[in-house]
């Protein structure tokens, strides 16, 4: 019969570190999603405005971000 040694597992370790890390990851995901939606909408409105003073900076930013590899 296979018996696993789970003596390293500690509920206090789980609640103190793993749960805090998971909650931080969820918070970071929500903040990044909301920020991305706001920034993306703002840039899209700038590009669709038709005013060169808004279109060019937004276009430069978008094209620069597109050319950076996601590594």
Domain that holds residue 47: 26-71
pLDDT in tens, 23-66: 999 999 999 999 999 999 999 999 999 999 999 999 999 999 98
Residue 12 within a domain: no
The number of folded domains in the chain is 1
Residue 4 within a domain: no
Residue 43 within a domain: yes
Predicted local confidence at residue 9, as pLDDT: 75
Residue 32 within a domain: yes
pLDDT higher than threshold 90 for residue 13? no
Residue 50 within a domain: yes
In 3D space, the residue among 49, 47, 27, 50 whose CA is nearest the CA of residue 39 turns out to be: 47
Residue 21 within a domain: no
Predicted local confidence at residue 14, as pLDDT: 77
Residue 61 within a domain: yes
pLDDT higher than threshold 70 for residue 12? yes
Predicted local confidence at residue 2, as pLDDT: 73
Burial class of residue 62 (count of CB atoms within 10 Å of its CB; 0-12, 13-18, 19+): middle
Predicted local confidence at residue 10, as pLDDT: 77
Tokens of residue 36, six digits? 């991305």
């Amino acid at each position: 019969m296979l018996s696993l040694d789970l003596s390293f597992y500690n509920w206090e370790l789980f609640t103190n570190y793993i749960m805090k890390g998971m909650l931080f990851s969820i918070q970071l995901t929500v903040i990044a999603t909301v920020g991305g939606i706001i920034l993306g909408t703002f840039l899209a409105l700038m590009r669709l405005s038709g005013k060169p003073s808004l279109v060019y900076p937004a276009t430069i930013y978008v094209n620069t971000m597109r050319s950076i590899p996601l590594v």
